[in-house]
Amino acid sequence: MVEVLSPATAPLDKKAKRRVYAQPGVKELWLVDPLLSQIQRYDFARDTAKPVQLIEVNETVETPLLPGLRFAAAKIFKR
């Protein structure tokens, strides 16, 4: 699941919606924060409350759930 945060709904997305996503079997959540140019990657099998990775704009995005998927985070935040 990928959720792009907006200033108006970020508090809801980070708490209540994250808990909802963790319940029906979603394995991973990426919270994309355009204002901070960061991606918080949650692995719900490991921890539903804390991200397992904080990806900065100058880093590479990868997930073990999609082997071979690899791209620069900067592509997401490019304007």
Whether the per-residue pLDDT at 79 is higher than 80: the answer is no
Which CATH code is given to the segment(s) 2-77? 3.90.1570.10
For 15, list phi and psi in degrees, rounded to 5: -115, -75
Whether the per-residue pLDDT at 70 is higher than 80: the answer is yes
Residue ranges per domain, the chain? 2-77
pLDDT 10s digits, 8-30: 988 888 888 888 988 878 999 99
pLDDT, residue 24, reads 79
In this prediction the pTM is 0.89
Whether the per-residue pLDDT at 73 is higher than 90: the answer is yes
Q: What is the mean pLDDT of the chain?
A: 92
